[in-house]
Structure 1
């Protein structure tokens, strides 16, 4: 770690990265400039969004299924006799 590392500054690493980056390297992090590039990137991101939405739906369904199984197991447990 750097001698001037400060855990209270969450942007220190990012700031150090940008200060050591040349203009040619920084170009890779800039947004696309042509309309075709923007359309292509939007299409890619929509595919990723669809995949993530589907994954979130599957995850939610699995959570609900496990909650129902737990509730069923709790309901089927024998109740202790208090008499």
Structure 2
């Protein structure tokens, strides 16, 4: 009667099934009843979870940094093409390299219109020279 299926141990049946597959029996099939062992496993799994979360956060930060770098490069490329297209048509700022340095003159107010009338004309007579003393 020992050959009947109800007399067989289910754990032994699982062990035979797993041993035939060539894969070792996982620890979760036969759960442990020791609380300290369970606490240790929980602690180990939490450590692995935190490590995986840290790696995930670093990966997300790297991807985000690369996306920002890509968007900046795309914006710079668009600005360069826009600048080269507008410089090809107008070309006024490119003709005179000193235009950028002249911005203070553009900010100054022009003199009043009546300032020309009140100004004295310059003296056109040559200044009298004093004779040099000879030694």
Q: TM-score range by the shorter chain?
A: 0.5 to 0.7
For 2:64 and 2:54, how far apart are their aligned partners in 1? Answer: 15
Dislocated runs of 4+, deviation >6 Å = none
Per the TM alignment, residue 49 of structure 1 is displaced from its structure 2 partner at its CA by: 0.7
Q: 1:19 to 1:53 in 2, by over 3 A?
A: same
CA-based RMSD of the aligned residues comes to 2.6
Per the TM alignment, residue 69 of structure 1 is displaced from its structure 2 partner at its CA by: 0.3
- 2:18–2:25 CA contact under 8 A, matched in 1: no
Per the TM alignment, residue 67 of structure 1 is displaced from its structure 2 partner at its CA by: 0.2
- 2:32–2:38 CA contact under 8 A, matched in 1: yes
Q: Report the counterpart of residue 55 of structure 2 in structure 1.
A: 55
* Higher CA-based Rg: 2
For 2:44 and 2:58, how far apart are their aligned partners in 1? Answer: 21
Write out per-residue CA displacement over residues 6-61 of structure 1, whole angstroms, 9 at most, x where no aligned residue.
xxxxxxxxxxxx62527xx6474533321111000000011111111111111100
Q: Which runs of 5+ in 1 are unaligned?
A: 1-17
1:1-80 matches, cutoff 5 A = 19-21=17-19, 26=25, 28=27, 29-77=29-77, 78-79=80-81
Q: Which runs of 5+ in 2 are unaligned?
A: 1-15, 90-135
For 1:50 and 1:62, how far apart are their aligned partners in 2? Answer: 18
Q: 1:68 to 1:42 in 2, by over 3 A?
A: same
